[in-house]
Amino acid sequence: MQNYFVQSCPTCGRSLRIQIKYLGRQVSCRHCNGQFRAEHDEDAGCSSGVMDTPIMKRVESALQRASEDS
């Protein structure tokens, strides 16, 4: 029996092992202290990736602004 699941932190994108007992609760990332709700989505690994994380969206936006300025 698996006592944990893996979820990406929505702030920093790191993969975190979260104990099942925390499902549905607010948790904090040990790396960046970002807070989010622990949710297990078996399809998340297939549909979402690193490019969907907030940090990558900010990077993409900054690159777009830089190309517009030049």
Q: Is the pLDDT of residue 54 over 50?
A: yes
The tokens for 9 are: 């932190």
pLDDT at 50: 47
Domain count, the chain: 1
Residues 7-21: pLDDT tens digits?
A: 999 999 999 999 989
Give which of 37, 32, 33, 45 is closest to 18, Cα–Cα: 37
Higher pLDDT pick, 68 / 70: 68
CATH number at residue 49: 2.20.28
Give which of 16, 8, 7 is closest to 50, Cα–Cα: 8
Domain hosting residue 15, numbered range: 4-69
pLDDT at 42: 56
